[in-house]
């Protein structure tokens, strides 16, 4: 390339790293100009900034395609992270794109929810972001006007819930939403748990006085997830549109997904660190309230199910590995103890923090422990989510023309301590866990955000990304 010879052609050169993509690992220099990757090769001319990556692995910046930031909750509950602390935490853990949720409230407009979410994010984010939608009230206006308009504007994925009173849809409503996804080129994400079974079990547990956090897991056994997963697959088959089942927790849901695929259905799936590293015992082996820290839905299962999840990561069952970061403080009045009180598991806000630890957990315990390849790691944490949600190849790729979002890995002993994390949550479920790696650098569009010790980047430079057509959908001329 002629320009390569002129002085200062590159703003940044990341030199000599082992560059990992979803398909290859090769040694190369990465030349960056105006925030984009413009050259991959050896012996590139010097950049104005040089980053020595020799002997280190370089991966695409993480794409966390399922996290909750500043999502309104019914008072007194409030999420601990907004776009400021949440995306700071993301950057320090190697994630350069997040996709949180603009959530419709029943009786309200979805377009208004999107506008409100832009107000919450604008000028506050430190990494780039797109929005998923949550459809909780699919009225004719929402279905026929709002959703098609929003899809055109770059909101091409939406989540539907089969549980939670304020969010859940019945099967007919889910079919209506899937039909819009099919006709307008969007992907539906499904939270698959059977609401009536959960309510029935919860009432029985409460009647027996079993209200400690650990009973959350008893109220949501695997069959609750299995039944809803099967039903979601059937609904997708009826409409003939792909879906993605989010936060798959273990064997029974996986069996349903494998069944769907064996029948030729386009069923995609996501899992999360909590299903690899936590078990139901983390919700408590006695009635201690500390278990509230790990209350999330679906709940973590057991060691055998962790292995089933690892198998699914390795063999291609999962397309996406997300944090499902849902940040609630343990202490105080707005989080796990609403109004400062220890409450029945029914009222404990669901969710755990995980944006900052997602990448290092999978790199250390997946790649460096020999469970998955480096290419698979890249696919699950960056390329897969970017493709699934219409952000590829701008995001999730190391190729000429992609945004220069990179992680350079430091393979060293690290102990996870909440005191070292950057979210605004007062705990991490992984406190004390020993890892073998952490990002040495995180770059967003060529700028160093994290240098292995602190956030050093420009603040508030995160940009909104309108999403394109999800690449997991059939080609538009064929659908
Ligand atoms: N489950 C969800 O469905 N969303 C947020 C967190 C959780 O545990
Ligand atoms: Zn969910
Ligand atoms: Zn979630």
Q: Which residue from 32, 29, 30 is spatially nearest to 16, judged by alpha carbons? A: 29
| Among 165, 350, 354, 425, residue to substitute to test ligand 1 (most atoms within 8 Å of Cβ) | 350
- A 10 A CB-CB count for 281 gives 14
Q: Report if residue 79 sits inside a domain.
A: yes
Give the C-alpha separation, 85 to 424, whole Å. 6
* pLDDT, tens only, 421-455: 999 999 999 999 999 999 999 999 999 999 999 99
Alpha helices in 64-194 (DSSP H): 83-92, 110-121, 140-141, 147-152, 171-184
Handedness of CA 331, 333, 339, 345 (dihedral sign): negative
Instruction: Give the number of the atom of ligand 1 that is nearest the alpha carbon of residue 297.
Output: 8
Q: Report if residue 394 sits inside a domain.
A: no
| Among 68, 80, 160, 298, residue to substitute to test ligand 1 (most atoms within 8 Å of Cβ) | 68
Give the C-alpha separation, 98 to 91, whole Å. 10
CA 189 to ligand 3 center in whole angstroms? 10
pLDDT, residue 5, reads: 52
Identify the residues whose C-beta falls under 6 Å from ligand 1.
68, 191, 296-297, 324, 326, 350-351
Task: Collect contacts of 334-343 with beta carbons under 8 A, ≥24 apart.
Answer: 334/76, 334/77, 334/78, 334/80, 335/77, 335/78, 335/80, 336/292, 336/293, 336/295, 337/289, 337/292, 338/76, 338/77, 339/76, 342/289, 342/292, 343/211
Q: Is 67 helix (H, G, I), strand (E, B) or coil?
A: strand
* pLDDT, tens only, 322-379: 999 999 999 999 999 999 999 999 999 999 999 999 999 999 999 999 999 999 999 9
Mean pLDDT of 240-263: 98
Considering every ligand atom, which ligand is closest to the CA of 246?
A: 2
Q: Report if residue 436 sits inside a domain.
A: no
Instruction: Give the number of the atom of ligand 1 that is nearest the alpha carbon of residue 295.
Output: 8
E strands in 384-454: 406-410, 414-415, 434-435, 438-444, 447-450
Residues spanned by the domain of 259: 62-379
Nearest CA to ligand 1 atom 3: 297
**Under 8 Å between Cβ of 211 and 346:** yes
Q: Before 239, cis peptide (omega within 30)?
A: no
Nearest CA to ligand 1 atom 1: 297
| Among 324, 325, 429, residue to substitute to test ligand 1 (most atoms within 8 Å of Cβ) | 324
Percent of the chain exceeding pLDDT 90 equals 97
Q: Before 441, cis peptide (omega within 30)?
A: no
pLDDT, residue 4, reads: 53
What's the helix, strand, coil split of the chain in %, to 5? 35, 20, 45
Q: Specify whether the backbone of 370 is left (phi greater than 0), alpha (psi in -120 to 50) or beta.
A: left
CATH of the domain at 163: 3.20.20.140
Q: Report if residue 32 sits inside a domain.
A: no
Give buried/exposed letters for 134-155 (b at 16+ CB in 10 A, else e): bbbbbbeebbeebbbebbeeeb
Q: Report if residue 446 sits inside a domain.
A: no
Nearest CA to ligand 1 atom 5: 351
Query: How far apart, in Å, do the first and last CA atoms of the chain sit?
Result: 41
Average pLDDT, the chain: 97
Between CA 306 and CA 123, with CA 134 as vertex, the angle to 5 degrees is: 100
Q: How many domains does the chain have?
A: 1
| Among 296, 298, 322, 429, residue to substitute to test ligand 1 (most atoms within 8 Å of Cβ) | 296
Q: Before 319, cis peptide (omega within 30)?
A: no
Considering every ligand atom, which ligand is closest to the CA of 191?
A: 2
pLDDT, residue 6, reads: 55
Give the C-alpha separation, 409 to 401, whole Å. 22
Q: Report if residue 440 sits inside a domain.
A: no
* pLDDT, tens only, 101-140: 999 999 999 999 999 999 999 999 999 999 999 999 999 9
Give the C-alpha separation, 301 to 118, whole Å. 36
Give the C-alpha separation, 273 to 275, whole Å. 5
* pLDDT, tens only, 287-323: 999 999 999 999 999 999 999 999 999 999 999 999 9
Q: Is 193 helix (H, G, I), strand (E, B) or coil?
A: coil
CA 248 to ligand 2 center in whole angstroms? 10
Q: Report if residue 397 sits inside a domain.
A: no
pLDDT, residue 7, reads: 58
Q: Report if residue 156 sits inside a domain.
A: yes
Residue located via tokens 């299903």: 275
């Amino acid at each position: 390339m002629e320009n390569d010879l002129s002085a200062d052609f590159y703003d940044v050169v990341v030199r000599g790293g082992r560059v990992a993509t979803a398909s290859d690992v090769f040694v190369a220099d990465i030349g960056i100009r105006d925030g984009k990757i413009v050259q991959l090769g050896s012996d590139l001319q010097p950049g104005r900034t040089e980053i020595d990556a020799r002997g280190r692995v370089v991966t695409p910046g993480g794409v966390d395609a399922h996290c909750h930031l500043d999502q309104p909750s019914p008072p007194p509950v409030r999420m601990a992270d907004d776009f400021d602390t949440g995306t700071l935490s993301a950057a320090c853990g190697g994630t350069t794109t997040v996709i949180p949720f603009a959530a419709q409230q029943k009786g309200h407009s979805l377009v208004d929810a999107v506008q409100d979410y832009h107000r919450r994010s604008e000028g506050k984010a430190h990494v780039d972001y797109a929005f998923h939608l949550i459809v909780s009230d699919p009225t004719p206006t929402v279905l026929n006007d709002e959703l098609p308009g929003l899809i055109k504007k770059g909101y091409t994925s939406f989540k539907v819930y089969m549980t939670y009173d304020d969010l859940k849809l019945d099967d007919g409503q889910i079919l209506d939403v899937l039909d819009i996804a099919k006709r307008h080129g969007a992907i539906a994400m499904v939270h698959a748990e059977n609401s009536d079974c959960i309510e029935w079990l919860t009432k029985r547990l409460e009647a027996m006085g079993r209200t400690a956090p650990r009973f959350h897991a008893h109220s949501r056994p695997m069959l609750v997830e299995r039944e809803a997963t099967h039903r979601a697959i059937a609904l997708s088959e009826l409409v003939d549109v792909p879906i993605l089942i989010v936060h798959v927790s273990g064997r029974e849901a996986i069996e349903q997904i494998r069944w769907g695929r064996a029948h030729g259905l386009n069923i995609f799936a996501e899992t999360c660190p909590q299903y690899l590293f936590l078990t139901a015992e983390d919700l408590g082996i006695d009635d201690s309230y500390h278990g509230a820290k790990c209350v999330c839905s679906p709940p973590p299962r057991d060691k055998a199910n962790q292995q089933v999840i690892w198998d699914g990561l390795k063999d291609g069952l999962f397309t996406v590995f997300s944090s499902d970061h849902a940040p609630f403080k343990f202490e105080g009045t707005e989080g796990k103890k609403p109004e400062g009180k220890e409450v029945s598991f029914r009222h404990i806000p669901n969710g755990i923090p995980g944006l900052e630890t997602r990448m290092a957990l999978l790199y250390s315990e997946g790649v460096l422990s020999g469970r998955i390849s480096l290419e698979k790691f890249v696919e699950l944490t960056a390329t897969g989510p970017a493709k699934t949600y219409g952000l590829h190849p701008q995001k999730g790729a190391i190729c000429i023309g992609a945004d220069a979002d990179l992680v350079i890995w430091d393979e060293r002993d690290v102990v996870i301590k909440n005191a070292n994390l950057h979210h605004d949550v007062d705990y991490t479920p992984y406190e004390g866990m020993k890892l073998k790696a952490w990002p040495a650098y995180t770059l967003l569009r060529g700028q160093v955000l994290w240098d292995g010790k602190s956030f050093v980047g420009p603040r508030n430079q995160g940009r909104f990304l309108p999403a394109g057509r999800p690449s997991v959908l059939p080609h538009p001329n064929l659908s």
